[in-house]
Amino acid sequence: MSGGQIAALIFAILLLLPGGCFLLAGISAVTYSQYAGIALLGLLIAAAILGLAGYLFWRAFRRRPADTDGASPPRDP
């Protein structure tokens, strides 16, 4: 893993906590009709934070593209 992939993984893990908290608060606020606006806002914030965490997980675990300069890989002797 490169340094950028490690950083993306660390930030993705750190974003899971606030995203999960907003998600739980939004879900719990849905049960009260007087807090419907706050619940929607909490769920939107949770979706944004968890979406960013998902993107960072994807960046951390994706494979780098192979060299496409036309050169063949070195052979083993």
Domain count, the chain: 1
Task: For residues 44 and 34, give the distance between their C-alpha atoms in angstroms, rounded to a whole number.
Answer: 18
Cβ–Cβ < 8 Å for 50, 23: yes
Tokens of 45: 């914030």
Which secondary-structure segment (H or E) carries 11?
Answer: helix 3-30
- Residue 70 domain flag: no
Tokens of 53: 């965490």
Domain extent at residue 31: 3-61
- Residue 73 domain flag: no
pLDDT digits (tens, 9 = 90+) for 31-60: 887 888 889 999 999 999 999 999 999 999
Task: For residues 42 and 36, give the distance between their C-alpha atoms in angstroms, rounded to a whole number.
Answer: 10
- Residue 13 domain flag: yes
pLDDT for 71 equals 62
- Residue 67 domain flag: no
pLDDT for 32 equals 82
pLDDT for 1 equals 74
pLDDT above 80: residue 63:
no
